[in-house]
Structure 1
Amino acid sequence: MATLGDKKPEDQTPETAGADSAKPPRPAQVMPAAAQGRGTVSRPEIVRRATDYASGPADDRTMGSYGDGKKLIVGREIALNGQISSCEKLVVEGRVEASMSECREIEIAETGMFKGEAEIEVAEISGAFEGTITARDLLIIRSTGRVTGSVRAGRLEVERGGQIRGDVQILDAE
């Protein structure tokens, strides 16, 4: 009986195929068709396995144990509107219009724009921020950063080229 992918030798006829199928192949039959000069190319079958998704992730990092479990990244050309809370770190590479509370850190990349209110521990701004920002510990405005609005910070660092427009208040050390 022929199975899928098996070829019948050319010298067999349908009547003799069953009788000779138990014999081992001759060397001419083992050689690839291209090596025999026939001009045809045989292609091996590709067996596809079904992926088992039920077993769970193979890496612990996908479950949030990697240390960045509460990290939110808004990528380039992505816009996000709404309320952000209980976030360990927000990285803005796109556009965010939101109110941010109970969060530890915000990082606005050069391509990023945040509009709204942010109350955090640490902020690093390389892009644009418009609104009210309260950085209880440290606010860093990089050389490409622009802040417009109300600024309250425990400590403030502004690199040459960084811009602040609006009210600035340094918080009392507690």
Structure 2
Amino acid sequence: MLQKDGFFRKNRDEKRDDSFFRPATPVTTTAPAANVAVEPVTEVKADARREAKLVVGPEIKIKGVEISDCDTLVVEGRIEATLDSRVLEITEHGVFQGTIAVDNAEIHGRFEGELTVRKQLVIHATGKCSGKIRYSKIKVEEGAEIAGEISMLDKAQASFAVTRKVA
């Protein structure tokens, strides 16, 4: 049995440094002259935005969902869904069934359904795609399988960005 006094007293008696948890000291500046207009400066870096990435790991199964606000989707497991994204990667053992609209797609595994790729579709040697497939540019490696209704997007379709729902 633990003795409460002996075990916890040591930490209670020691002086702690809590400076890490305290807010930073405010910085004060002198006010500008009354006749000078001051505009607030806001600097936002484009790279500061974090990429929204979803990885569906092996042995994970997702069924009947709509995936939105996802920049990159990596499928290692199995998904039955609707997706609007920038990048899709289906790994060698990954499976996606459903409807997809993406800028770029790399298929190492299996895709079944409706696939619209606005920029480039790459189907690797281990990849299998079937269904309605539309693309702007395509690269199919030797050994890849592709079947169904396959067509190239015209420039207007390729530049069309699907509007996402705002909650």
1:97 aligns with 2:75: no
Whether contact under 8 Å (1:93, 1:108) holds in the other structure is yes
Structure 1, unaligned runs of 5 or more: 6-46, 49-54, 56-64
1:173 offset after TM fit, Å?
2.7
* TM-score, scaled to structure 2: 0.63
Cα distance, 1:86–1:147 mapped onto 2, change above 3 Å: same
Whether contact under 8 Å (1:105, 1:123) holds in the other structure is yes
1:172 offset after TM fit, Å?
1.6
1:154 equivalent in structure 2 = 136
Q: 1:108 aligns with which of 73, 76, 90?
A: 90
Q: 2:125 aligns with which of 130, 143, 150?
A: 143
1:66 offset after TM fit, Å?
7.6
Whole-angstrom CA distance in 1 between matches of 2:146 and 2:54: 26
* TM-score, scaled to structure 1: 0.61
1:84-113 CA distances to partner (integer Å, 9 max, x unpaired)? 111100000000000112x11100000100
1:19 equivalent in structure 2 = none
Whole-angstrom CA distance in 2 between matches of 1:91 and 1:66: 22
RMSD: 2.4
> How high is the sequence identity, in percent, across the aligned residues?
40
Q: What letter matches 1:109 in structure 2?
A: T
Larger radius of gyration: 1
Structure 2, unaligned runs of 5 or more: 12-20, 22-46, 157-167
1:77 equivalent in structure 2 = 59
* SS, match of residue 153 in structure 1: strand
Higher relative contact order (CA 8 A, sep 6+): 2
Whole-angstrom CA distance in 1 between matches of 2:127 and 2:62: 20
Whole-angstrom CA distance in 2 between matches of 1:153 and 1:84: 20
Q: How many residues align?
A: 116
What is the correspondence of 1:6-155 to structure 2 with a 5 Å cutoff? 69-81=51-63, 82-101=65-84, 103-155=85-137
Relative to its length, the structure with more strand (as a share) is 2
Whole-angstrom CA distance in 2 between matches of 1:109 and 1:77: 13
Whole-angstrom CA distance in 1 between matches of 2:49 and 2:75: 19
Detail structure 1 runs of 4+ shifted over 2 Å in the superposition: 65-69
Cα distance, 1:156–1:77 mapped onto 2, change above 3 Å: same
Q: What letter matches 1:94 in structure 2?
A: G
Whole-angstrom CA distance in 1 between matches of 2:145 and 2:52: 30
